[in-house]
Structure 1
Amino acid sequence: MAARRTVDNPTRVGYGALLRTPGAWTFLAPAFAARLPYAMLSLGIVLLVLDTHGSYGTAGLVAAVSAVAQALIGPQTGRLADRYGQSAVLLPSVVVHAVSVGALIALAVGHAPVWTLFLAAAPAGASVPQIGAMVRARWVSRLSDSPATLNTAFAFESVTDEFTFVIGPVLAGAIATTLNPSAGLIAEAVLTVAGGLAFAAQRSTAPARHPGTAGVKRASALASPGVRLLAVSFLGVGTVFGAMQVSITAFTRSAGQEGMSGIVYGVFAGGSMLAGVLYGLIAWRNSARQRMLGCYALLVLGCSTLWAMPNLTALAVAGLFCGLAIAPTLITGYTLVESLVADGAKTEAFTWLTGAIGLGLAAGSTVAGVLIDGHGASGGFLVPVVGSGLGLVALLTLRRLLVPPSTPSRTVARGGTVGAGQASVLTPAALD
């Protein structure tokens, strides 16, 4: 049999067709409410601790502890979700999260020692529901026979992620500055509980559990070298998110316009969202690996100008162009990782990437906070270009690891926005 077979008369798979997937809206609506707090937590912590303890370094460090805990524990909850089901993991997670955030607020407002803030921030981050990974796993479960539609779903999810990063920081910043810094985190906890419980209730669309075989140890998704490489590259993307949040906050404060921090960050995320929408509508002809390298190189280029911006307007424009490379990079990364792991490890694999972003966010916010305390707001903007630059070096050096493992054949779509009826059957070598 020939290595490739293409069915004629292709049709494009757009977002409208995707959203008409039976049952899609039953989990998409609550998922949006549940993932919105993900974009509010870090900035909410920064604003609260900055108000109560007066140091960017301390604020960034507390946010970093939360992000590190999320990065380390998130993949484990993803693995448990693959094994025992999403609802079984979500229900205790949202309870722990609400209690931990409440404790963090009480300690910060009470001017408790910094080390006690770490004790509350760690479980707050560890218990963040991994909604984005769980939604992607639901798409994989429902669209496994339509790779073209699945790739469009990944684009839609990245756009949704970016939309939450447009709305989340603006919402957290507005609530914190209009009411008080505590209110931003209170809103985050309420949305987490309400959205998480509503999402958990949608059991009919959840992927099948993979409890495993007695006496057989299941390999972690991280055992794949390609997954590890993508996690490293997403770590670089995370440094961009973390450093931007802290640096923009410092830049707007130094300019006497602190209330603009959420808006400027929203412009950055808005550029990513726009690029993600357009990316999902293009029938790409080159391989996902090539697109990953190209998008990541553009990200490094966009980050390279941030430190030199003289005012808020210039910073917003530079942030917009930087953001244009974010969503395409993430979409392509999630597309690649899905091809690198077997069924039963999808949620865990997606969560490793999400966790890597959180770990990078922690490192980025911490280093940026230290640089800002010592050298001013512009110093914090050096972190995104260094972090993303190291990620690009790793991708270029080890790009061969992104080729899926050898299997008899794999059905994929040409480009990613082509209809399910015209999928191609490719050997693994043809994917590159």
Structure 2
Amino acid sequence: MASTVKNRPGYGQLLRTPGAWTFLLPGFLARQPFAMLTIGIVLLVQHTTGSYGSAGVVAAVTGVSMALFAPQSGKLADRFGQRAVLVPGVLLHTASVSALTALALSGAPLWALFAAAVPTGASVPQIGPMVRARWAAKLEGSPLMTTAAAFESVTDEFTFVVGPVLATALSTGVHPAGGLIAEAMLTLAGGLFFAAQSGTQPQPSRAAGHARVEHASALSIPGVRVLAVAFLGIGSVFGGMQVALTAFSEEIGNPGANGLLYGIFAAGNMLAGIACGAIAWKSGPRRRMVLGYAGLTLAASALWAVHSVALLAGLGLLVGLCIAPALIGGYTLVESLVPASARTEAFTWLTGAVALGQAAAVTVAGQLADEHGASAAFVVPLVGTALALVTLLALRSRLSPRAPGRIAARGMGHRVPVTVD
């Protein structure tokens, strides 16, 4: 699968990219709240209503809203600049989360929670896609793009190690609304800090002289549509695991174990992401992505049968290890499938697909947990990843790059072909 080669690109070379740290640190801080939102909603609404099903539906409304609006946010960022989209979005998100929290604590009916959940999801800051778009702009055609995709996956998963644990600790140990309140405060501070780093954002297409050109959606590219469907499966894992682990922890009488178990699951993804970026792969991102989904489906197939905390932690770690190759492969393919003027939108379609898959999984897993217990909820990640794997195998030919065999620069005076499969 892999081999070591001389002078292969690595994390050290990536982090020496001029100007990288000016957006990496703010981006790291600004994306922390993303991992806290769904679990914060589930814990708060479950506390106030006593139902995982109701909590799951409210969280699902947030996820669906994000999935629908995130690509539009990305499209606007491509055209007008990231800062122009981020600042009003961050302010709206903070106000919406505050309203949702107040309504839940006051015992408002579900329809009122749904009404607040829509702007909450629609305004989620798309920090991850924006950071990836900045990398793509700086590393156009470079073999470092795979390393950058791995680095971003590690960063994302580190937030999913810290975020759910923090949200769970605040919600169960301080106040049921503690997780959501912290999410809103971190979004406001981190989002505005990232927005202030306008010097490293990709040049808006409008400023580049393309204002009169009609902008085709990134979703018009067949490969992006395939990736979006596949990323629904990743979302089903995140959503299904959040609800199932929460229900499992309640069943064993140890609610605090939820954050630890989910953190171990996310840690597996983070460790695999580190490895993916450190290895010089002979296979291309398309093949690695398919293998990642195959491993993910296999690992998820045993979740429903496990009733031990230790075994569930180990299996959760294995599931997490399989996610990184799938995610990194997909994000790496965007650079070869999508023109620079539409990459932020493309990344947000993938992020939105994860959110949509997570929303559907939270809803279904919540209903299953209420009616049949945690074991039934663990079936959701299996079904989602199996369907995604079938889609990839059937439509993998659509993941060919825009210009097969194109040449990409590798350092000064060297050129290498871009490998997709």
Instruction: Look up the equivalent residue of 1:424 and give its one-letter code.
Output: V
1:61-76 superposed matches below 5 A: 61-76=57-72
Match of 1:190 in 2: 185
- CA-CA distance at 1:220 after TM superposition: 0.3
Answer yes or no: is 1:152 the counterpart of 2:147.
yes
Match of 1:425 in 2: 417
Match of 2:342 in 1: 345
Instruction: Look up the equivalent residue of 2:50 and give its one-letter code.
Output: G
Whether the aligned pair in 2 keeps the contact of 1:149 and 1:420 (CA below 8 Å) is: no
What's the CA shift string for 1:335-367, capped at 9, x where partnerless? Answer: 112211112001000110000000000000000
Task: Assess, with a 3 A threshold, how the Cα gap between structure 1 residues 421 and 277 changes in structure 2: closer, same or farther.
Answer: farther
TM-score, normalization: structure 2?
Answer: 0.96
Match of 2:290 in 1: 293
Match of 1:208 in 2: 203
- Counterpart of 1:85 (choices 63, 76, 81) is 81
Structure 2 segments unaligned to the other structure (5+ residues): none
- Counterpart of 2:54 (choices 41, 55, 58) is 58
Task: Provide the rounded CA distance (Å) in 2 between the counterparts of 1:288 and 1:24.
Answer: 24
SS at match of 1:424: strand
SS at match of 2:417: strand
1:2-401 superposed matches below 5 A: 10-145=6-141, 147-211=142-206, 213=210, 215-401=212-398
- CA-CA distance at 1:407 after TM superposition: 6.2
- The RMSD of aligned alpha carbons is 1.5
Comparing 239-248 and 215-224, the one that deviates more = 215-224
Whether the aligned pair in 1 keeps the contact of 2:405 and 2:417 (CA below 8 Å) is: no
SS at match of 2:143: helix
Q: Percent identity?
A: 59
Instruction: Look up the equivalent residue of 1:142 and give its one-letter code.
Output: K
SS at match of 2:408: strand
- CA-CA distance at 1:45 after TM superposition: 0.1
Whether the aligned pair in 1 keeps the contact of 2:333 and 2:420 (CA below 8 Å) is: no
SS at match of 2:402: coil
What's the CA shift string for 1:278-310, capped at 9, x where partnerless? Answer: 111111111221111111100101111110101
Whether the aligned pair in 2 keeps the contact of 1:11 and 1:422 (CA below 8 Å) is: no
Task: Provide the rounded CA distance (Å) in 2 between the counterparts of 1:144 and 1:354.
Answer: 21
TM-score, normalization: structure 1?
Answer: 0.93
Task: Provide the rounded CA distance (Å) in 2 between the counterparts of 1:357 and 1:235.
Answer: 5
- CA-CA distance at 1:187 after TM superposition: 0.4
Task: Assess, with a 3 A threshold, how the Cα gap between structure 1 residues 19 and 215 changes in structure 2: closer, same or farther.
Answer: closer
Structure 1 segments unaligned to the other structure (5+ residues): 1-8, 414-418
Task: Provide the rounded CA distance (Å) in 2 between the counterparts of 1:297 and 1:368.
Answer: 22
Instruction: Look up the equivalent residue of 1:166 and give its one-letter code.
Output: V
Match of 1:416 in 2: none
SS at match of 2:278: coil
Instruction: Look up the equivalent residue of 2:225 and give its one-letter code.
Output: R
Q: Which 4+ stretches in 1 moved above 6 angstroms?
A: none
SS at match of 1:345: helix
SS at match of 1:411: strand
SS at match of 2:177: helix
Whether the aligned pair in 2 keeps the contact of 1:148 and 1:423 (CA below 8 Å) is: no
